[in-house]
Amino acid sequence: MKTKQELEQSIVMLEEQVATNKTMSAAYQQDLDLATKALADVNKPVLTPLQLDNIQGAIESAVGNFDFDDADNYNKEFELDYDGRVQLSTLEFENAGDLVDVIVEKVHALFVGAEDND
């Protein structure tokens, strides 16, 4: 059977090992995150700052020209309150797909399609 002093020394050594392993684990996790991001970025096309600005401009143009004032773009639900007044209880934007289509169309217009060789 171990003495009290031996057990205390063992606990201190184990705590130090746990702290060291946590530090090493955090470093490994950071390295893993960087490697995962680098792998994800490997196949991404490289864009110049001008191209990125053109994409941003296309998106801003598409969103800016979308008719958010068109009532048909929204699902509306009305209800009567306790005073007998009609009020809008739900207003939900329904045409997100149309907005996405407009944005995609504007962005696609900036590029020339290429054949996929895979």
Q: Is residue 118 part of a domain?
A: no
SS3 2: coil
Containing domain of residue 82, as a range? 45-112
Q: Is residue 64 part of a domain?
A: yes
Q: Are residues 5 and 29 in the same domain?
A: yes
pTM, 2 dp: 0.52
Q: Is residue 22 part of a domain?
A: yes
94 near 79, Cβ under 8 Å? no
Q: Are residues 25 and 50 in the same domain?
A: no
Angle at 66 between CA 63 and CA 68, to 5 degrees: 110
List, for residues 60-70, the tens digit of each pLDDT value: 988 888 888 88
| Residue whose C-alpha is closest to residue 91's, from 81, 76, 71 | 76
Q: Are residues 39 and 52 in the same domain?
A: no
Q: Are residues 75 and 65 in the same domain?
A: yes
List, for residues 43-53, the tens digit of each pLDDT value: 778 888 898 89
The rounded distance, in Å, linking the Cα atoms of 65 and 76 is: 23
Question: What's the confidence (pLDDT) of residue 118?
Answer: 61
For 69, the token pair is: 């004032």
